[in-house]
Amino acid sequence: MGTLQSLLRELGQAGAGTQGSDLVADWLLRTYGLEGVTALHIHQGQLQPLPYFDPLPAKVTFTREDLRVVRAGQVDVRPGGILVALSGRYRARYCLWLHPVPARFTAADMELLQLFAHGVGLEIEWRIVQQHLGLLRRLQHDLLRGSLDQAYDVLLRYAVAIIPGAETGSMAVRDGKLFHVVAYGSYDEQELRDVAFDVADNRDVWYGLGEAAWLAGVPRVRRGPDLIARGGGFVRGGEYHTEALASVQSLQANIAVPILYAGEVMAFLNIDSLTDPDAFGDDSVALATSFAEQTALILHEFRLRHDVDAAARTDELTALPNRRALTRALPAMIHRAREGGAPLSVMLLDVHNFKAINDLYGHATGDLALRRVADALRAFLLRLPAADATPAGGPPSTAFRVLSPQPFVPGEPAAFRNGGDEFIVTLPGATPADAARHAAELRDVMLGVNVEGRPIVLDIGVAALQPDDETGDTLFRTADEAMYRDKQARYMASSGSPG
């Protein structure tokens, strides 16, 4: 018969799969003369059998009291068998049912079994840590491959997988004085769509550990009635609702995790159990803390990468998206127009006789003129309706727009600096007649815009996407030709010569 030390040494060297469980079962069967060993784990507030061990005898059932015995780390001898909690540093989440009770089960046997349970519990915890480290490495890989809006869903999915006791959750990202919900698990999509929470309320009422803990990123655990009592109001569509979300009533336990960036709470993670008030222990808090720290580092790196990408797609002078951004966005615009059967129009424009502004007043004034055109375009776009303001991945929240380098969402009008004094406005959902009307409205907007007392006049050409234009080349060539005709007509009207 091998010693317990030999078993634990072999267990530490065992690989993944059934090797470890075979070692444990074989040692117990030989040491205590048992007929069967059943392994169980705590899942959704119940003890549920695990594979690789013997099945649970038909007449054996477990109650909430048995759950408390396991969580207390006890070895409980009862008629028909022994319930053995496998606890190491933290409370047990796994246990064994040994049957039947040996005919002669001495105090020495109990002591040996308790040492066994603690040693195996430590081994289980070590393996869980290794598994979670692997998940964190995969998390970083998966995050950096996708876009920021996808990243929030990835983060939440991994958090639920990593934090013991987690069943579902939600994640919110800060924008000013509000946290906007950007990812959620099994909750009703309609309930959480476009929902935000006041930062101060979230910190002082829902989180409730005080500002020092908040700024230190300390996870907070609460359960049942206390959670419901602290469920505060929410914001939807700019309107504050004093009542709590209905889903708060379904919570049995919650871990609230502030996620810090540059010394401020940039995101807020809720990890929930819907079935077990005691789902979260010290191990849950420890892993939630580790996850929040790793997530903050990953999001920081993710943000830096996306900032670099955003800079590459943003015109430095006007802060409008540049030609590279247009090139990247155009295929999605065309695809949306084709799939939805909606029109797509563009306005191509430049500053009339821009060379004269540079020659008369210098390039600094010319740059100022371009910035004023960009400002006018931004103001003009705010007046236009969006054909479909919902991007493919879900609702466009303010938080997405603040944190994402994407300067627009598909379905919304957008302005780009094409280079030099040339700009492009894309108009999803606009017919040629709509585009022509918008061009006239833009000219009206420009009436009050000037530099050095000189009005800034635009040459504008409009065009619409044609059924046989797969790439948009014809669309922009047609708009360019229309802009040239507008320019020529203006020169002829003023009896000037093109320059």
Neighbour-count burial for 37-76, b at 16+ CB within 10 Å, e otherwise: bbbbbbeebebeeeeebbebeeeeebeeebbebbbebbbe
Residue 200 contacts residue 176 (beta carbons within 8 Å)? no
| Distance separating alpha carbons of residues 54 and 366, to the nearest angstrom | 82
* pLDDT tens, the chain, 499 aa long: 458 888 888 888 886 667 888 999 999 999 999 999 999 999 999 999 998 899 999 889 999 999 999 999 999 999 999 999 999 999 999 999 999 999 899 999 999 999 999 999 999 999 888 888 888 778 777 766 766 667 788 888 889 988 999 999 999 988 889 999 988 888 888 888 889 999 999 999 999 999 999 999 999 999 988 888 888 889 998 889 989 898 999 999 999 999 998 888 989 999 999 999 999 999 999 989 888 887 787 777 777 777 777 788 899 999 999 999 999 889 989 988 988 888 999 999 999 999 999 999 999 999 999 999 999 999 898 888 655 443 333 333 332 222 233 445 557 899 999 999 999 999 999 999 999 999 999 988 888 899 998 899 999 999 999 999 999 999 999 999 999 999 999 888 776 554 4
Select the CATH number that applies to the domain covering 313-493 from these four: 3.40.50.300, 3.20.20.70, 3.30.70.270, 3.40.605.10: 3.30.70.270
The pLDDT value recorded for residue 17 is 65
DSSP letter (8 states) at residue 204:
I
Of 445, 301, 304, 274, give the one whose Cα is nearest residue 376.
445
Neighbour-count burial for 377-389, b at 16+ CB within 10 Å, e otherwise: beebbeebebbee
User: At a CB cut-off of 8 Å and minimum separation 6, what does 362 contact?
Assistant: none
The pLDDT value recorded for residue 2 is 55
Q: Over the Cα atoms of the chain, what is R_g?
A: 32
The pLDDT value recorded for residue 404 is 33
The pLDDT value recorded for residue 54 is 92
The pLDDT value recorded for residue 212 is 96
Containing 417, the helix (H) or strand (E) segment is strand 414-419
> DSSP letters of 457-499?
-EEEEEEE--TT-SSSHHHHHHHHHHHHHHHHHHHHHTT----
Residue spans of the domains in the chain: they are 4-128, 146-311, 313-493
| Distance separating alpha carbons of residues 74 and 77, to the nearest angstrom | 10
Residue 117 contacts residue 149 (beta carbons within 8 Å)? no
Q: Which fold has domain 4-128?
A: Beta-Lactamase (3.30.450)
Do 313-493 and 146-311 have the same topology in CATH? no
pTM (predicted TM-score)? 0.64
Of 376, 262, 237, 375, give the one whose Cα is nearest residue 318.
375
Q: Where are the beta strands (DSSP E) in 176-225?
A: 178-184, 195-198, 220-223
Q: Report helix angle 19-32 to 4-13, nearest 10.
A: 170
| Distance separating alpha carbons of residues 461 and 475, to the nearest angstrom | 11
Residue 246 contacts residue 191 (beta carbons within 8 Å)? yes
The pLDDT value recorded for residue 386 is 58
CATH architecture of 146-311: 2-Layer Sandwich (3.30)
